[in-house]
Amino acid sequence: MCVQATFFEQVRDSGRRVVVHLFNNINTTGQHGLPAAEVPLREETVPIGGIRVVFSGDPPRACRWEPDGGELPLKPSRAVLEGVEVEVPPLGLHGMIAADWRTIES
DSSP result, 38-62? SSPPPS----B---EEEEESSPPSE
> Are 61 and 29 spatial neighbours (Cβ–Cβ below 8 Å)?
no
| Mean pLDDT for the stretch of residues 22-51 | 77
pLDDT over 60 (residue 13): yes
Strand 3-12, strand 94-101: pairing: unpaired
pTM: 0.81
> Are 75 and 84 spatial neighbours (Cβ–Cβ below 8 Å)?
yes
The mean pLDDT value of the chain amounts to 87
Strand 62-66, strand 83-87: pairing: unpaired
